[in-house]
Amino acid sequence: RPTDKPLRLPLQDVYKIGGIGTVPVGRVETGVLKPGMVVTFAPANLTTEVKSVEMHHEALAEAVPGDNVGFNVKNVSVKELRRGYVCGDSKDTPPKSTEEFTAQVIVLNHPGQIANGYTPVLDCHTAHIACKFREIKEKCDRRSGKKLEDNPKFIKSGDAAIIDLVPSKPMCVETFTDFPPLGRFAVRDMRQTVA
């Protein structure tokens, strides 16, 4: 069950509330968030304590997956956090920043050919970051995942491929097996979802 996994909470927004302080807002994807917990925000690697957790203006003893919550954190300014950051338990597999990652990409809707160096925008959980296709490692069958070709020169609509991606700034992604909501993404270019 998602409650048994370590906490992952992608931030949708961060507010400064008079008399309370900094209040990040987002949906718990996995794990549990409780007041008193020490949390880490990736990719900033910022650690702090949760003072309180609220949903619909009611204080919660704990927030579980699916809950959209606001939570008050100690000694962190609103400038240090932003949408797309991910909050986790600093004592239980905290989220980390990634400098590059490998993913399976299925091209849905691209008018031309995609080659190494292509740099679209990735929408992953609440993050929205330009990523470079550093290396298209293999073309594979969409259904079976079986390898069809090593290091293809390019891929086009209908193709599936294994690709090394490099985000233009630090970002937090996870493996799909461990944290599905943080292991899925849409590739956007020319105002549409291309992959």
- Please give the average per-residue pLDDT across 94-104, as a whole number: 97
Q: Give the model's pLDDT for residue 2.
A: 85
What mean pLDDT, rounded, does the chain reach? Answer: 97
Q: Tell me the percentage of the chain whose pLDDT exceeds 90.
A: 96
3-state SS, 134-187, equals: EEEEEEECCCCCCEEEECCCCECCCCEEEEEEEECCCECCCCCCCCHHHCCEEE
**Tokens encoding 156:** 């086009």
Q: What is the mean pLDDT of residues 85-93?
A: 98
Instruction: Judge whether residue 1 has pLDDT over 80.
Output: no
Confidence band (pLDDT; 50, 70, 90) for 50? very high
Across the range 87-108, mean pLDDT stands at 97
Query: Which fold is adopted by the domain 2-89?
Result: Elongation Factor Tu (Ef-tu); domain 3 (2.40.30)
CA 121, CA 9: separation in Å to the nearest integer? 21
Average pLDDT over residues 16-30: 96
Residue 137 burial class via C-beta count within 10 angstroms: exposed 0-12, middle 13-18, buried 19 and up: middle
* pTM assigned to the model: 0.94
Predicted confidence at residue 46, as pLDDT, reads 97
pLDDT computed for residue 136 by the predictor: 98
Q: Using 50, 70 and 90 to split pLDDT, how confident is the model at 135?
A: very high
Whether the pLDDT of residue 188 is over 80: the answer is yes
Q: Is 51 exposed, middle or buried, given 0-12, 13-18 or 19+ CB atoms closer than 10 A?
A: middle
State the pLDDT confidence band at 29, using cuts at 50, 70 and 90. very high
Q: What is the pLDDT of residues 75-86, one digit of tens each?
A: 999 999 999 999
The residue count for the chain? 195
CATH number of the structural domain 101-193: 2.40.30.10
Q: Where in the chain is the domain with CATH 2.40.30.10?
A: 2-89, 101-193
